Amino acid sequence: MTFFTDNQTKRDLNLIDRYSNKSVYAIFNQVKTLGASRLLEKMFNNPLIDHKSINARNSIFKFFGNLNIEFPLKDEELLNVESYLQTGGIGSLASFCNTARIVTLKLIGVWEEFDLRTSQILTTIKFCNQMKRFISQILVSGENNPITDELKTAFEFLDTNIKENWQHESVQISFSEIFAYDHMFRVHAYKKLVDLISLAHSLDLYLAVSLVSRKNDFTYAEALADKHNILSIANCRNPLVKYAKGNSIEINEIENLLFLTGANMAGKSTFMKSVGIALYLAHMGFPVPADKMKFSVKDGLYTSINISDNLEQGHSKGSSRGCWRIEKVDYHFR
């Protein structure tokens, strides 16, 4: 099952707009690699509906939020490695013939492919060495690491192979080394390296999201099973409004209907959007703009906020009507 919403809700809450710096997505898009940016967009488009999965993702962000560590890789170098590995997954004979062709071209004075292959191999070696040091730094930096097993598996793979094959990071590289490295990277260790790149993107995302949480004083919501009917948020703020004032909300099995009234520009629509954004982020397992939050997991979120206010400039177009509905329909907001 998936979390259901619609484009109207995404527009109402200013959730996802890759081309605007005034969206919730833009707040969290502080990643350094294109792969992490794609992963972030995927998470924004696919919130979770299982409370265990939500709390597990929460725990990862919390862990990285306690680390004083920076992502060490450059995006252009990582893209170079990805481009090289896209031609991987080949057999030993194909690797040998392809490398022999490149070396032969160099011998007759055609250097371009040889120089490109040399650059790709050296960049891949550098990537492996950087990831080994980076993973080691994470493993010794904190306790209760929720992805320890994944990191240890990657480290053991790198530690075993780097000792024997991948220490070379010099500019000079021999013909025999090109054959050996290309066979290692695109044949023998191809799947491991693809997984290592995915891990690098994930680590970039974890560090970026946890940094956003620290800088903005966000918190991590506690997800409850869908059999409950609880929504409790303390000092909930709209992250798109500068110097936003927080509000609190309490909904349970007995008190599950809320009427919101007030004068124009009193903050009604902003409050509704604040709660909607917090609920959406909470279902993603992301930090939320509040002091504390506990919620029952639902199947979806729909809003219809019929206003044209400009929150950035503080403008209101007059009276507004709106509602949001959370599937399964256990609590309502009018």
pLDDT of residue 307: 54
Domain boundary among 185, 215, 245: 215
Task: Examine the domain organization and report whether 183 and 87 are in the same domain.
Answer: yes
Average pLDDT, stretch 86-99?
Answer: 69
Task: Examine the domain organization and report whether 40 and 91 are in the same domain.
Answer: no
Task: Examine the domain organization and report whether 113 and 206 are in the same domain.
Answer: yes
Task: Examine the domain organization and report whether 208 and 147 are in the same domain.
Answer: yes
pLDDT of residue 209: 97
pLDDT higher than 60, residue 311: no
Most confident of 79-93, 137-151, 224-238, 283-297: 283-297
Buried b (16+ CB within 10 A) or exposed e, 36-47: bbebbeebbeeb
pLDDT higher than 50, residue 94: yes
pTM to 2 decimal places: 0.85
pLDDT of residue 334: 46
Answer yes or no: is 63 within a domain: no
Domain boundary among 158, 181, 215: 215
Answer yes or no: is 320 within a domain: yes
Task: Examine the domain organization and report whether 197 and 248 are in the same domain.
Answer: no
Average pLDDT, stretch 257-263?
Answer: 77
Task: Examine the domain organization and report whether 99 and 171 are in the same domain.
Answer: yes
SS3 175: helix
Answer yes or no: is 65 within a domain: no
Task: Examine the domain organization and report whether 97 and 208 are in the same domain.
Answer: yes
Answer yes or no: is 66 within a domain: no
> Could you tell me which residue, 97 or 30, shows the higher pLDDT?
30
Q: DSSP for 41-102, please give it.
A: HHHHHS----HHHHHHHHHHHHHHHT--------HHHHHHHHHHHTT-S--HHHHHHHHHHH
Mean pLDDT of the chain: 84
Answer yes or no: is 54 within a domain: no
Answer yes or no: is 68 within a domain: no
Task: Examine the domain organization and report whether 148 and 205 are in the same domain.
Answer: yes
Answer yes or no: is 67 within a domain: no
Domain boundary among 215, 242, 277: 215
Task: Examine the domain organization and report whether 128 and 27 are in the same domain.
Answer: no
Q: What is the percent of the chain with per-residue pLDDT over 70, rounded to a whole number?
A: 81
pLDDT of residue 330: 45
Task: Examine the domain organization and report whether 110 and 230 are in the same domain.
Answer: no
CA distances 215 to 40, 60, 331, Å, are 18, 17, 32
Domain that holds residue 40: 7-49+226-333
Answer yes or no: is 56 within a domain: no
